[in-house]
Amino acid sequence: MKNKQILCTICARGGSKGLPNKNLLKIDDKSLIGHTLTQAKSVEDIDCIIISSDSDDILEEGKMYGADILLRRSAKLASDDAGKIDAIIDCLSHAESKLNIDFDYVIDLDVTSPLRNTSDIKNCLEFINNHGFKNLITVTNSRKNPYFNQIEITNEGPKLVKTGHNITGRQSAPRVYDMNASIYVWSKNFLINEKSLFSKDTIVYDMPEERSLDIDNELDFKFVKYLMENEL
């Protein structure tokens, strides 16, 4: 992406209810923070990497793996009620002020999705730039489909989710995707003005299931650890 200034944000809180200290858990003797920073630093188009956290240990880990800016996240932005987009905008504002750089794009890499590869990151940046969209989210094909095999629990018992479509088989159901929480990209102006993941100017980047696992609990971690350590 010639003549484009790109900021990479890595947002990682210290607390985690599902899996304590998950951002510092190690796979192949490297923390999840370390894996994410290593991926980001291997992408030449990224001009600056900023890590935002309320944890001294995470910020120190970010420093060890070469983050350009360490940002202590405020208590308000580190609360359970705070949205991630607000933390990303905080990173953008801090980085532009500190470096006196007007960034064109912001790419956020989720620490708990270490199975993505460098090509995924590069492709996402090229994809949004070449197609003229305002933001990008990564997805993967969904195993479950609300048009066909998802149910809701009602007062009258379990029922198929009503979609307004008469779907009788999987093959006739519209294709749906899961957001895999791996990579997000915004043009700066869209991020600041819209503060959103979805609009008519959003494009998706489809990733295979084997690179789309997100670590939310101990079982997720064990599975991802097995895949990475065995290079599967």
Q: Which domains does the chain have, with CATH numbers?
A: 6-222 (3.90.550.10)
Residue 144 confidence (pLDDT): 76
The pLDDT of residue 212: 97
**Cα–Cα distance list, 194 to 35, 114, 135, 201 (Å):** 30, 28, 10, 11
Q: What per-residue confidence (pLDDT) applies to 226?
A: 96
Concatenated DSSP letters of 146-208? TTTS-EEEETTEEEEPP-SS---SGGGSPP-EEEEEEEEEEEHHHHHHH--S-STTEEEEE--
Burial annotation 78-94 (CB, 10 A radius, 16+ → b, else e): beeebebbebbbbbbee
Give the pLDDT confidence score for residue 15 in this predicted structure: 76
pLDDT at site 228:
96
Give the whole-angstrom CA distance, residue 17 versus residue 4.
Answer: 38
**DSSP symbol at 28:** T
Res 170: pLDDT: 64
Q: Which amino acid is at 42?
A: S
| pLDDT score for 97 | 98
pLDDT at 167 (0 to 100): 66
**What does the pLDDT read at residue 163?**
63
Q: What is the pLDDT of residue 53?
A: 97
Residues 31, 34, 39, 40, CA torsion sign: positive
- Spatial distance between the Cα atoms of 65 and 53, rounded to a whole number of angstroms: 15
- Classify 175 in phi/psi space as left (phi over 0), alpha (psi -120 to 50) or beta: beta
- Provide block-wise average pLDDT over 10 residues at a time, the chain (232 residues): 92 86 96 98 98 97 98 89 92 98 98 98 96 95 76 76 65 81 97 94 96 95 96 75
